[in-house]
Structure 1
Amino acid sequence: MPDADLDSLMRLAAFEHVGKLSEVHDHLTAVHLVPGFIFQGERIPLVNPQRGIFKPRQMRFLLSIKTVFPRPGGRIWYDDQREVHRQIFEGDDAIDYAFMGENPDAADNRWLREAFENQVPVIYFLGIAPGRYQAVFPAFVSGWDASALKARVAFGVPDQESLAPPANALERRYALRAVKQRLHQASFREAVITAYGGRCALSGLP
């Protein structure tokens, strides 16, 4: 089987697996993501716990990107950790995603460029609280800027049968609105839970 066909089948299996996880869980954690999924009897990872841009060795193209929600008082490693929620809720049609480090030709950043050039659908694990993620897919690398050390990420139109990138700005805005509606509920819930330290405001019980 050609590499491109195998990559597409693995990608669809990853999307199906993450979709099922998201139906069962309000948010995803390392417990859900690190085990990966099984494809043709082999385990395929979904993420690299130490890095935000991930391509499994079994796949030709990038599979997932991740933005970590910073812990209170913790170090902010990349601009998108500060900006992504604001861009989603205030933005127009796409968001910025910071390169790994300052070398555009580093492997992680090349994977972003290859995903951009080939319009490959990926999974975006967006941090909504420390250690907690919402999976948004399909997402597409819609721009790649070596001088700014940033990529642009647009989201796929919801309920579309094909995994094609949005065809124009109108579709990108529509897709971003759908993501915004999904995340508003999740982000608000997580913010309240974090504010109360994971305990009931009335009884103090976990």
Structure 2
Amino acid sequence: MDLDKQIRLAAFNWLKKQVEKYGDVLNRDMLAQGFEFKGTRIPLVSPQGIFKPKILDLPLTITTSPKGPYEDSFDEHDFLLYKYRGTDPMHRDNVGLRKCMQKEVPLIYFHGIIPGKYLVVWPVYIIGDDPDSLTFRVAADNQYDVDQEISRVGETDKYRRAYITASVRQRLHQRGFRERVIAAYQSQCAFCHLKHVELLDAAHIIPDQEEEGIPSVNNGLALCKIHHAAFDKHILGVTPDYEIKVKDEVLREEDGPMLLHGIQELQDKKLILPRSKKAWPNQEFLEWRYQEFKDKI
């Protein structure tokens, strides 16, 4: 196995371990530190979006910054559109990605969700190049197939890649919503102050299956898992004036300290709001949801 493939597989295996431990949204500092390969430190990101470690001849990763200059998007087939570095099609980074396309070399994609946090996707392949729009076309593929010998991509592979890339787009929406909401609430439950991020969810006020259920911060609440479940099951509600309400029959129950301190004592307490008023829950959304709560009483 040649050095290039050894390093790529080592990078994929390292990322797999990090994702199993931390989830598929990773910190930039961790990615910048990277991993060690036979005594050589291999970072995975740099200030440039297209990154080639010194030990390699071709790029290893591509990154979209949450506040970067490039407006990456998806095309009508749900494939990712990744902007060139600069405006020169012959810049060495753009040439490097073009060679990756020609040789079917797998890459890693980091999509910035909030500053310092990136959704990680691998392998991705450059499947198209449009110098007129200064854009590469990128497809995600099955990470369990990357250790196989590279072969010509057939029609079945193209359909598989389209499906997987579309699922990546959905993950970007979901993870992006979660990270933005939890960051807005300073990584704590809006009902109880719990600050263990691994126990927090981003709850929709208007559910995402509704037409109005947009993935915006002001349609979200950072809630611990028990309060998220209670909110979803209409045991807890929130008024448009940011007061927490408990379902009447639950208020009358007697069932130990968890119910007393975890649910009942929330009655009439104020929601813990983000520091930025722009991130506060939309009062019309809360009115919609509170009406649902009252209808279930």
In the alignment, structure 1 residue 171 sits paired with structure 2 residue 156: no
Distance in 2, matches of 1:158 and 1:201, equals: 37
* Aligned partner of residue 189 in structure 1, secondary structure: helix
Question: Bigger shift: 165-174 or 29-38?
Answer: 165-174
Shift of residue 107 of structure 1? 1.4
* Aligned partner of residue 101 in structure 1, secondary structure: coil
CA offsets 1:6-30 (integer angstroms, 9 cap, x no match): 1110110011111111111132112
Shift of residue 173 of structure 1? 2.0
* Aligned partner of residue 34 in structure 1, secondary structure: helix
For structure 2, list consecutive stretches of 5 or more residues without a partner in the other structure: 196-297
Shift of residue 91 of structure 1? 4.6
For structure 1, list consecutive stretches of 5 or more residues without a partner in the other structure: 71-75
Q: 1:68 aligns with which of 49, 65, 69?
A: 65
In the alignment, structure 1 residue 186 sits paired with structure 2 residue 175: yes
Identity in percent = 39
Kindly name which structure, 1 or 2, has the bigger radius of gyration based on alpha carbons: 2
Task: Indicate if the aligned counterparts of 1:156 and 1:163 stay in contact, CA closer than 8 A.
Answer: no
CA offsets 1:88-116 (integer angstroms, 9 cap, x no match): xx852411100111111111111111111
Distance in 1, matches of 2:145 and 2:3, equals: 22
Distance in 2, matches of 1:158 and 1:41, equals: 25
Given the superposition, is the C-alpha separation of residues 11 and 158 from structure 1 closer, same or farther in structure 2, using an over 3 Å criterion?
closer
Give the partner amino acid of 2:189: C
Match of 2:279 in 1: none
* Aligned partner of residue 61 in structure 1, secondary structure: coil
TM-score, structure 2 as length reference: 0.58
TM-score, structure 1 as length reference: 0.82
* Aligned partner of residue 28 in structure 1, secondary structure: strand
Aligned residues: 190
Q: 1:114 aligns with which of 72, 78, 99?
A: 99
Match of 1:29 in 2: 27
Match of 1:58 in 2: 55
Shift of residue 186 of structure 1? 2.0
Match of 1:20 in 2: 17
* Aligned partner of residue 79 in structure 1, secondary structure: coil
Task: Indicate if the aligned counterparts of 1:29 and 1:133 stay in contact, CA closer than 8 A.
Answer: yes
Give the partner amino acid of 2:48: R
Give the partner amino acid of 2:69: W
Q: 2:42 aligns with which of 41, 44, 53?
A: 44
Question: Bigger shift: 158-167 or 192-201?
Answer: 158-167
Given the superposition, is the C-alpha separation of residues 35 and 141 from structure 1 closer, same or farther in structure 2, using an over 3 Å criterion?
same
Match of 2:80 in 1: 95
Give the partner amino acid of 1:167: G
Given the superposition, is the C-alpha separation of residues 180 and 167 from structure 1 closer, same or farther in structure 2, using an over 3 Å criterion?
farther
Distance in 2, matches of 1:186 and 1:163, equals: 32
CA offsets 1:121-145 (integer angstroms, 9 cap, x no match): 0000111222211110000011112
Given the superposition, is the C-alpha separation of residues 188 and 166 from structure 1 closer, same or farther in structure 2, using an over 3 Å criterion?
farther
Distance in 2, matches of 1:163 and 1:175, equals: 20
* Aligned partner of residue 129 in structure 2, secondary structure: strand
Task: Indicate if the aligned counterparts of 2:108 and 2:124 stay in contact, CA closer than 8 A.
Answer: yes
* Aligned partner of residue 16 in structure 2, secondary structure: helix
* Aligned partner of residue 187 in structure 2, secondary structure: coil
